[in-house]
Amino acid sequence: MYRIILTKPAELDLEDATRYIAKELQNPIAANKLLDDVEIAVASLVNMPKRNRLVENEFLARLGFRFFMVHNYIIFYIVRDDIKSLTIERFLHSRRDWVNIIGQ
């Protein structure tokens, strides 16, 4: 089984998304549902972390960035076989310019 590591940027992304849904959209139930679904989806990676494909951007793919969707959000992560871990790098809305955000 792989250990899950959540980076600070990914943590802040998730907090911003749930805060926006709960406060701006005034839908705390949807915000909690998103959190629950993200937790379930990420936890499911511990046994098969490479089941999602690499991103299509060549530079980021060489760095090992993989992704999957939860609702309208993309979770980007990197698998490290040598230390049996997967690092959640970012959690971004699908309409964001993720290539430039991650590539910075």
Give the pLDDT confidence of 30-89 residue by residue, as tens digits.
Answer: 999 999 999 999 999 999 999 999 999 999 999 999 999 999 999 999 999 999 999 999
- 72 located within any domain: yes
- 32 located within any domain: yes
User: Could you tell me the pTM of the whole model?
Assistant: 0.93
Matching residue, tokens 């997967």: 86
Q: How many structural domains comprise the chain? A: 1
pLDDT value, residue 103: 80
- 66 located within any domain: yes
CB 53 within 8 A of CB 45: no
| Full domain range(s) for residue 23 | 3-94
Sheet with 65-70: list strands edge to edge: 3-6, 85-93, 73-80, 65-70
- 101 located within any domain: no
- 102 located within any domain: no
pLDDT value, residue 104: 64
d(CA 51, CA 7): 21
Query: Residue 75's domain is classified under what CATH number?
Result: 3.30.2310.20
